[in-house]
Amino acid sequence: MGDFVSTTLEFPVVVFTFPLLIVVAYWIFAAVSGAAGEATESDSADTGSAPAGFAGFLAVLGLGGVPVTVVLSLVIAIAWFVSLVGTALFDSALIRLGWLALALVAAWHATWLLARPLRRLLRTGRTARNADFVGLVCVVRTGRVGPDFGVGEVTAADGTTALIEIRDESDSGLHSGGRALIFDYDPESDVFRVAPAGSALDPLG
């Protein structure tokens, strides 16, 4: 056990040892606090625009569509394991330096391979959740709603709220603060089709 700990504190594995401890602590906290589900979900308010910042950088690397926390956790864990192997096998500082680069490349490639099934899994879960919104009434949060634009706020059965992309194909004049009935969901474009809720639900409409 002592040899293992001392190895994890040698170069190059030590570069990833402390980040890995942070990752483990984060996921333990997320599991205990119940935040693990939120950490593995894409932003429910995503409008489909190109991601910005670090998320955009990950998208360029082929790691888009997966939560940043999951991507970083996988990269750090895989890089740590590969680095540990190199540290245990080689004593040469030059070889270990090259092994650090190898660990980063291997971690990116392995995470890239895992990203595709993870994207499908997350998309399936999101589609199932979004389908539950059909039949509910949302509140319009943009100035207008038309065939190509609109955002609404919907309250789920469990009391949580989400901002969703909504479309009114009939362009019936829905406006900010109005209430709209969600009658369909398009999983391909991730938008909801809505219509005015009617006088029974919106007496001011």
Indicate the pTM of the whole model.
0.57
Cα 102 from Cα 88, distance rounded (Å): 15
Please, what are the domains in the chain?
Answer: 2-131 (no CATH), 137-196 (2.40.50.140)
Phi and psi at 66, nearest 5°, equal: -120, 135
**Coil, strand or helix: which one is 203?**
coil
Query: Is the pLDDT at 185 greater than 60, yes or no?
Result: yes
Whether 203 shows a pLDDT value over 50: the answer reads no
Does residue 35 register a pLDDT over 60?
no
Give 137's strand partners: 181
Q: How confident is the model at residue 192 (pLDDT cuts 50, 70, 90)?
A: very high
Dihedral angle computed from the Cα positions of residues 69, 72, 78 and 80, in that order, rounded to the nearest 10 degrees = -110
Tokens describing residue 35: 């935040």
